[in-house]
C-alpha cells in the first residue's frame, strides 16, 4: 500500500503543513488512511493527523469527510457534542502523490479495545450507561441539528477521551515533544522508544482503571479500584468517512455487517433510525462483551438470511408487510413473510438472554431490555430517536447518594442507589 496512490510513509519527526505539525508516533490506520500522533507547534497541543491515501477516489472521499467534519465543527463551537473535532486540513505532497490530511483532536482507545481489554466480559452497567449517554448526545446532534447519518456506528468508531497527556508525561517533561528526526537524535531514537513504552503502559493502566480489571505493572499487582463510579467515562464518535446527509443517501449497502439494520438488508430505504439500530447493538456489546448479531452463511443459506433469522429469534417474527416490502424481499422471504430457507426459529427474548446467558439480575435485565428493545423495532419509524432515548429512565435512572450513618447505630450505609423500580442498599454492619 506504500506505493503511488497509496499511503504516505511517515517517519517520526517529519514536518507537515509548512512545519506546523511534527509526527510523533502512529496511532492507527484504516482502509484509506494512516493516523499519527503529531505535535502542533502553533497551539503546543498534541493532535491526531489523518493522512489519506493519494489516489483520486481516496482524495475525493477525504474531501467529503472534511466537508462533513467542517459542518460538525461549525455547528458545535463549544465542542461539547461528543463528536470528534476537526482542527485543520491541508494537502501534503509526498513520493506517492498528493495526500489529503485532516488534523483532529487527539483521542484515546476505542470501545472495541476497551471490550477486548475487559476480556469480553462486559462493562459495569453504570459505565455502559455513561458511554451510551455520550453516544446519544453525539447522535442527537448529528441527526437533529445537522441532518447527518453516521452509517458506520460500532465500538471501533467510538473513542474514549485520552487520559494520557503526552505533554505532561514525566519522561517527556522538559525535553518537550520530538521536534527532530530520530536519526538526528544521538540516541538513535531510543528516547522515542522510552516515551512510547511509557505511553503504552499509561494507556493500559487507564483502560484497566475504566474496565476495573487487575493489571500487573512493574512486578506488583495493583488492586482493582473498589469503587469505579467516580471514573467518568467519556467518549466521542469518530470516522465520518461514510457519513451522509439524510436528504441524499449515496450508498445502498451501508453499515458494518453486525451492526446493520434489517431495512438495509432488505433494501427498503433508510434514514436516521439505522444509526439507532447500530447504537443498540453497540450498547448490548458493551454490557455483555458479545456481539449481539454475528451471522454466518452456510451451504443452504446466506449471511443475510442467517442475520434476519437471528433478529427474529430475539425480537419475534418480522411483520409480513415489512418482510415482503423491500427490493430484496423476494430472494429471502416467501409471501407469508417467512424465511424461505431457514424454517425453524428458536425464540429467545432479550430479557431471558440477559438473565440466562449473561447472568444479569432480573431487575437489571428488565430495565436494560426496556431501554434496548424499542430500538430494535423492525419498523424503522417506530424506533425511538436519540433525543427520546436521552429521556429514557434507564439513561437517567440512577442517582447515587453517599450517606454516612455511622453514628446512627444501625449500619454504615456506604452508598444508596435510587432507581425507578428498585432500591439498592449497600450496607456494612
Ligand atoms: P479510516 O477512515 O481509514 O477507517 P479512522 O478515522 O477510523 O480511519 O481512523 C483509523 C484509526 O486511527 C482509528 O481506528 C483509531 O485507532 C485512530 N484514530 C482515528 N482518529 C483518532 C483520533 N482523533 N485520536 C486518536 N486516534 C485516532
Ligand atoms: Mg475506521
At residue 250, the pLDDT reads 86
Distance 76 CA to ligand 2 centre (A): 22
56-84 per-position pLDDT tens digit: 999 999 999 999 999 999 999 999 999 99
Confidence bin at 414 (pLDDT 50/70/90):
low
Q: Is residue 416 pLDDT above 90, yes or no?
A: no
pLDDT (mean) for 340-359 = 96
* Residue bearing the CA closest to ligand 1, atom 5: 239
Strand duo 235-237 + 21-29: pairing: unpaired
99-131 per-position pLDDT tens digit: 999 999 999 999 999 999 998 999 999 999 999
Q: Is 406 annotated as a binding residue?
A: no
At residue 172, the pLDDT reads 44
Q: Is residue 419 pLDDT above 70, yes or no?
A: no
At residue 222, the pLDDT reads 32
Query: Does 35 sit in the ligand 1 pocket, CB within 6 Å?
Result: yes
Given 3-state DSSP classes, what are the helix, strand and coil percentages for the chain, each rounded to the nearest 5?
A: 40, 20, 45
pLDDT (mean) for 409-417 = 51
Cβ neighbourhood burial of 29 (10 Å; 0-12, 13-18, 19+): middle
- Cβ(286)–Cβ(155) below 8 Å: yes
- Cβ(417)–Cβ(307) below 8 Å: no
Ligand approaching nearest to the C-alpha of 50: 1
pLDDT (mean) for 272-281 = 98
Ligand approaching nearest to the C-alpha of 52: 1
Q: Is residue 381 pLDDT above 80, yes or no?
A: yes
At residue 397, the pLDDT reads 74
**Ligand 1 atom closest to Cα of residue 37:** 25
Return the beta strands (E) in 323-429 as ranges: 399-401, 412-418, 423-428
At residue 409, the pLDDT reads 52
Query: Does 37 sit in the ligand 1 pocket, CB within 6 Å?
Result: no
At residue 65, the pLDDT reads 97
Rama region for 210: left / alpha / beta (φ>0; ψ in -120 to 50; rest)? alpha
Q: Give the count of beta carbons closer than 10 Å to the beta carbon of residue 221.
A: 9
Q: Where are the alpha helices (DSSP H) in 75-124?
A: 111-117
What is the dihedral sign for C-alpha 291, 294, 112, 392?
A: negative
Q: Which of 238, 241, 243, 256 to mutate to test the pocket of ligand 1 (most atoms within 8 A of CB)?
A: 238
CA-based angle 229:230:234, to the nearest 5?
90
| CA distance linking residue 136 with residue 389, whole number of Å | 7
Active site residue 338: no
| CA distance linking residue 189 with residue 25, whole number of Å | 12
Residue labelled with grid coordinates 466537508: 67
206-237 per-position pLDDT tens digit: 444 444 433 323 333 232 332 334 459 799 99
**Ligand 1 atom closest to Cα of residue 105:** 23
Q: Is residue 424 pLDDT above 90, yes or no?
A: no
Does this model's pTM top 0.90?
A: no
What is the rounded average pLDDT for all residues in the chain?
84
At residue 2, the pLDDT reads 87
| CA distance linking residue 199 with residue 163, whole number of Å | 10
Query: Does 287 sit in the ligand 1 pocket, CB within 6 Å?
Result: no
Query: Does 104 sit in the ligand 1 pocket, CB within 6 Å?
Result: yes
Q: Is residue 284 pLDDT above 90, yes or no?
A: yes
- Cβ(427)–Cβ(411) below 8 Å: yes
Is the pLDDT higher at 165 or at 372?
A: 372
The one-character DSSP state at 145 is I
Number of residues that make up the chain? 429
Query: Does 30 sit in the ligand 1 pocket, CB within 6 Å?
Result: yes
Residue 399: phi and psi, rounded to 5, are -115, 125
At residue 221, the pLDDT reads 29
157-207 per-position pLDDT tens digit: 999 987 666 555 433 433 457 766 544 333 333 344 444 455 555 545 544
- Cβ(238)–Cβ(108) below 8 Å: no
Q: Is residue 287 pLDDT above 70, yes or no?
A: yes
Catalytic residue among 40, 109, 140, 152: 152
Query: Does 111 sit in the ligand 1 pocket, CB within 6 Å?
Result: no
392-402 per-position pLDDT tens digit: 999 997 554 55
| CA distance linking residue 147 with residue 155, whole number of Å | 22
132-165 per-position pLDDT tens digit: 999 999 999 999 999 999 999 999 999 998 766 6
| DSSP-assigned beta bridge partners for residue 22 | 15, 39
User: Of 195, 197, 148, nearest to 168 (Cα)?
Assistant: 195
Amino acid at each position: 500500500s506504500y506505493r503511488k496512490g497509496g499511503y504516505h510513509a511517515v517517519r517520526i519527526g517529519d514536518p507537515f503543513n509548512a512545519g506546523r505539525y511534527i509526527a510523533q508516533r502512529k496511532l492507527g490506520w484504516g482502509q484509506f488512511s494512516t493516523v499519527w500522533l503529531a505535535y502542533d507547534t502553533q497551539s503546543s497541543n498534541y493532535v491526531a493527523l489523518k493522512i489519506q491515501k493519494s489516489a483520486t477516489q481516496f482524495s475525493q472521499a477525504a474531501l467529503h469527510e472534511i466537508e462533513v467534519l467542517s459542518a460538525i465543527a461549525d455547528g458545535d463551537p463549544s465542542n461539547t457534542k461528543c463528536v470528534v473535532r476537526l482542527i485543520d486540513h491541508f494537502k501534503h505532497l509526498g513520493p506517492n502523490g498528493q495526500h489529503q490530511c485532516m488534523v483532529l483532536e487527539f483521542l484515546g482507545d476505542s470501545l472495541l479495545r476497551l471490550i477486548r481489554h475487559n476480556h469480553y466480559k462486559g462493562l459495569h452497567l453504570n459505565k455502559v450507561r455513561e458511554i451510551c449517554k455520550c453516544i446519544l448526545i453525539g447522535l442527537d446532534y448529528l441527526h437533529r441539528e445537522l441532518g447527518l447519518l453516521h452509517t458506520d456506528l460500532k465500538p471501533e468508531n467510538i473513542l474514549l477521551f485520552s487520559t494520557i497527556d503526552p505533554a505532561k508525561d514525566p519522561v517527556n517533561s522538559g525535553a518537550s515533544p520530538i521536534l527532530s528526526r530520530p536519526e538526528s537524535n544521538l540516541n538513535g531514537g531510543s528516547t522515542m522508544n522510552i516515551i512510547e513504552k511509557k505511553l503504552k503502559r499509561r494507556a493500559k493502566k487507564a483502560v484497566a482503571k475504566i474496565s476495573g480489571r487487575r493489571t500487573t505493572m512493574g512486578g506488583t499487582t495493583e488492586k482493582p479500584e473498589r469503587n469505579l463510579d467516580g471514573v467518568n467515562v467519556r467518549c466521542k464518535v469518530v470516522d465520518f468517512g461514510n457519513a451522509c446527509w439524510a436528504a441524499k443517501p449515496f450508498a445502498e449497502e451501508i453499515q458494518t455487517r453486525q451492526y446493520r439494520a434489517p431495512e438495509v438488508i432488505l433494501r427498503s430505504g433508510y434514514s436516521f433510525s439505522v444509526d439507532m439500530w447500530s447504537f443498540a447493538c453497540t450498547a448490548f456489546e458493551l454490557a455483555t462483551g458479545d456481539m449481539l448479531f454475528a451471522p454466518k452463511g452456510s451451504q443452504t443459506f446466506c449471511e443475510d438470511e442467517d442475520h434476519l433469522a437471528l433478529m427474529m429469534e430475539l425480537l419475534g417474527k418480522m411483520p409480513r408487510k415489512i418482510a415482503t416490502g423491500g427490493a430484496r424481499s423476494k430472494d429471502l422471504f416467501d409471501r407469508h413473510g417467512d424465511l424461505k430457507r431457514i424454517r425453524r426459529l428458536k425464540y429467545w427474548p432479550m430479557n431471558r438472554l440477559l438473565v440466562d446467558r449473561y447472568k444479569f439480575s432480573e431487575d437489571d435485565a428488565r430495565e436494560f431490555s426496556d431501554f434496548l428493545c424499542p430500538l430494535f423495532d423492525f419498523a424503522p419509524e417506530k424506533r425511538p430517536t436519540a433525543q427520546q432515548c436521552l429521556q429514557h429512565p434507564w439513561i437517567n435512572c440512577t442517582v447515587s447518594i453517599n450517606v454516612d450513618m455511622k453514628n446512627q447505630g444501625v449500619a454504615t450505609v456506604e452508598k444508596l442507589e435510587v432507581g425507578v423500580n428498585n432500591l439498592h442498599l449497600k450496607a456494612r454492619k
